[in-house]
Chains A and B, each alone.
Chain A
C-alpha cells in the first residue's frame, strides 16, 4: 500500500504546454512538499503546504502553481512549460513527530 503516490511517473510534452502532476498521501500527515531534482541532481524544495495552506514558496516561477484540495493531496500545475522545467519532481509528506519526510517515487518531466 503506497504511502505517497504520484502520477504520472513519466511525462513527455512540448514547450508551451500546461501539465499537472498529482500527489496523494495516506499517512495522515498535515504537511506536504514538492521537491525538484534537476540535471545536477540537487533536490530543491519548491513548495510546502500545511493542512491545505501554503507555508513555503521558494523562488519558483509563478508558472508553477500548487493546489491542495485537502491535506492528503498536493497537486502541481505547470503553465507554459519550458525546456528548463525538465526534471524529476518529488512529492513528500512529513511526520510531525519525527520530522521525517516520506517521498513519492518521483515524476520525470521531459519538455521537448
Chain B
C-alpha cells in the first residue's frame, strides 16, 4: 500500500519555464515532508522540506506547497535549468525523527 504517491513518472520542461512536480499522500499522520533529488549512480540528496504547520516553504528557485486538506504537496522549480534534470522523490514522515516513506519518483527532463 503506497502511502506516498507520485503519479507522474516523468515530466519534460523547457529551460526557463516552471517545473511542477506533484505528490499525494494517504496517511493523515504525516506531518513532515521532504523532496529529494537524485542523479544517476548517486544517492538522493535533500532539496527542501516543509512541516505541516506551514503551507509554503521557499528556497531560491525551489518552492514546496502543502495542501493538508487535499493531502497533496507540490514542488515548483522556477526557472528550470538543464542541471535540474534528475529524479525527484517526495518523502513523508510522522515526525521529523521517524523513517521517511518515499514515493516512486518523477524523472524531470529540462531541455535547453
Contacts and interface: CB of A to CB of B under 8 A. Distances in A.
A98 to B, nearest CB: 7
B97 A43 contact: no
A103 B100 CA distance: 12
Nearest to A56: B99
A56 B43 CA distance: 21
Interface in B45-69: 45-46, 49
B54 to A, nearest CB: 14
A65 to B, nearest CB: 19
Contacts of A101: 34, 36, 44, 46, 91, 100
Contacts of A4: 43
Nearest to B100: A101
A99 B95 CA distance: 8
B105 A41 contact: yes
B11 to A, nearest CB: 15
A56 B93 CA distance: 14
Contacts of A104: 43
B104 A99 contact: no
Interface residues of B, number: 23
Given A40-B104, A42-B104, A99 B45 contact: no
B43 A99 contact: no
B70 interface: no
A99 B102 contact: no
Contacts of A86: none
B89 interface: yes
B21 to A, nearest CB: 15
A99 B96 contact: yes
A96 interface: yes
Given A98-B49, A99-B32, A90 B101 contact: no
Interface of B: 32, 34, 36, 41-46, 49, 87, 89, 91, 93, 95-97, 99-102, 104-105
Given A90-B44, A100-B49, 13 more contacts: A31-B97, A40-B104, A42-B102, A43-B102, A92-B43, A99-B32, A99-B93, A99-B96, A101-B91, A103-B36, A105-B41, A106-B41, A106-B43
